[in-house]
Amino acid sequence: MAVPRLELRGITKRYPGVLANDEVSLAIAPGEIHAVLGENGAGKSTLMKIAYGALAPDAGQILWDGRPVAPRAPDDARALGVGMVFQHFVLFDTLTVAQNVLLGLPAALARELSRGASASAWLAPLIERYRLDLDPDAHVGDLSVGEHQRVELLRALAARPRLLILDEPTSVLSPEARTALFATLRQLAAEGCSVAYISHKLAEIRELCDRCTVLRAGRAVAVVDPRAMAQDELATLMLGNAVDEVRSASPRPAGDPVLRVKHLSMPAPPGQRVGLREVSFELRAGEILGVAGVSGNGQSLLLSVLSGEEIHVPHDAVHLLGHPIGRLRPAARRALGLRAIPEERLGRGCVPEMGLDENMLLTMASGQASSGGWIRRRGLAEAASRVIARHGVRAASPRAPARSLSGGNLQKFMVGRELDGAPRVLLAAQPTWGVDVGAAARIHQALIDLRDAGGAVLIISEDLDELLALCDRLAVMAGGRLSPAVARAQVTADMLGRWMEGRWTHDPA
């Protein structure tokens, strides 16, 4: 290889109780798209944060164009030419696209800019060149999730990176947006920019990447050409064993409706673009109903209304097991047997600073967690340990703060916590978001087992493959409306595409 753009040599990083990177070496050539693959908690984000100067390694060397460097902060890395797009967007909703980009630029570049044309005029050719299709003067709060992602990309590109690090960039993108992103990345690579690409989606890695470094339990175990390997070979390399096959009992007719929504409408809450328009559906015992659609079409509002986070709706617009629940708070709904897995892990699903044991408390029935007004810490720790063991969560201890878990492990913990509440009705938004293929198979199996035991499951997901693999019936959300739900066997890709644009012929009664 020519002199690598970035070379990491023997990088070690230890957290209390965890060796996150264990003498990891990795080299990315100029113009190469290099995947970093590994199961949840393998150390990918830690390694990339070290390359970006956001974390200091305990040992090891970083070389940039063959010269040793020691970025102490992201500003140092950006000055070298490293850009990073994080999994969670860090944009200001009230500012415009151009203002958001300016805020993220290195000081010298921002100064140079402020002397010349307006920021919007400066950005226009960049937007054009990479076909990002953005209005620099639009307010970020008015944009869709796919557009947010492009603003993050624009922000990184405006700093003229020579290495761009992307952490799971496609988890919230529609298939079209993903294709557009890949075209941009290929163009960047052709222009000489290197790309480090973290993803759990093996098919994407095979489609996009020239080489792939595989991490397992903090160590780099292989460097391969992903296109020369089958998908299950890559999975085995990463996990150390083959992915379990998901098994389902032979399909049985669904039972009685357990969750019913009728003519539910509500305006868009402040800060959101889409409200709910005449949403009606039934979820039956012993079935998995999927809701497909590009995020930002009302799915998160629907989930809030069903979970009880949003209670400004008519009481009888939502029925759970025969009871009207529209105005009931989440705890009262949980007492009736409803559980929800929200899309946002930190903040909504978990309190980052609190231990996993204390996070159990958030969705436990009050009698289970306390006695005589006292919270039973030991009981909570036992419950957290159970979830950790049953769902293969990697955590230093049941008392480890939620924020110390890797993204995928926190997702496994949250899904496990709700499944262990033995729900009669489970609502799950993006249940395998950021989760590796092995863990995704286990989560899918758990959802199917719940269904086979008579539970009712509503899955809201942007991952069509996931929905097609799991669901008995499927509906689509577009512009705040919900399509009729149709049996899985009748769903075609063409139909889904049309419905995702809101084009179906009749609304459910």
Ligand X SMILES: Nc1ncnc2c1ncn2[C@@H]1O[C@H](COP(=O)(O)OP(=O)(O)OP(=O)(O)O)[C@@H](O)[C@H]1O
Secondary structure of residue 429 in the 3-state scheme: strand
* Residue 409 is a binding residue for ligand X (CB under 6 A): yes
* Nearest residue to ligand X, scored by beta-carbon proximity: 408
Q: What 8-state DSSP symbol labels residue 245? A: P
Residue from 5, 11, 41, 361 touching ligand X (CB under 6 A): that is 41
Q: Which of 38, 161, 308, 416 forms a contact with ligand X (CB under 6 A)? A: 38
Span from 3-11, 44-52, 475-483, 490-498 in contact with ligand X (CB under 6 A): 44-52
Among 396, 412, 398, 357, residue whose Cα is nearest residue 15? 396
Segment near ligand X (CB under 6 A), from 42-50, 118-126, 354-362, 484-492? Answer: 42-50
Out of 8, 18, 164, 259, name the contact with ligand X by CB under 6 A.
18
Distance CA 7, CA 27 (A): 4
By CB under 6 A, tell whether 394 contacts ligand X: yes
Site membership for ligand X, residue 43 (CB under 6 A): yes
Q: How many residues does the chain have?
A: 509
Please count the helices (runs of H) and the strands (runs of E) in the chain: 18, 23
The only residue of 4, 104, 136, 408 in contact with ligand X, by rule CB under 6 A: 408
Considering only 135-143, 306-314, 399-407, 466-474, which stretch makes contact with ligand X by CB under 6 A? Answer: 399-407
449 near 288, Cβ under 8 Å?
A: no
Among 33, 40, 197, 229, binds ligand X (CB under 6 A): 40
CA separation for the pair 457, 288 (Å, rounded) = 5
Task: Count Cβ atoms within 10 A of the Cβ of residue 49 and give its class: 0-12 exposed, 13-18 middle, 19 or more buried.
Answer: buried
Measured in whole angstroms, the distance separating CA 15 from the mean position of its chain's CA atoms is 24
Decide: is 170 part of the binding site for ligand X (CB under 6 A): no
d(CA 275, CA 364): 30
Query: In the set 6, 11, 35, 42, which binds ligand X (CB under 6 A)?
Result: 42
For ligand X, which residue of 194, 295, 406, 483 counts as binding (CB under 6 A)?
406
Residue whose structure tokens are 């399509």: 483
| Residue placing its CB nearer to ligand X in the complex, 286 or 407 | 407
Residues within window 427-486 making contact with ligand X, judged by CB under 6 A: 434
**Is the CB of residue 191 less than 8 Å from the CB of residue 34?**
no
Q: Which of 89, 15, 1 is nearest to 50 (CA)?
A: 15
Q: How many residues bind ligand X (CB under 6 A)?
A: 19
Residue 46 makes contact with ligand X by CB under 6 A = yes
407 binds ligand X (CB under 6 A): yes
Residues forming the site for ligand X (CB under 6 A): 15, 18, 20, 38, 40-46, 394, 404-409, 434
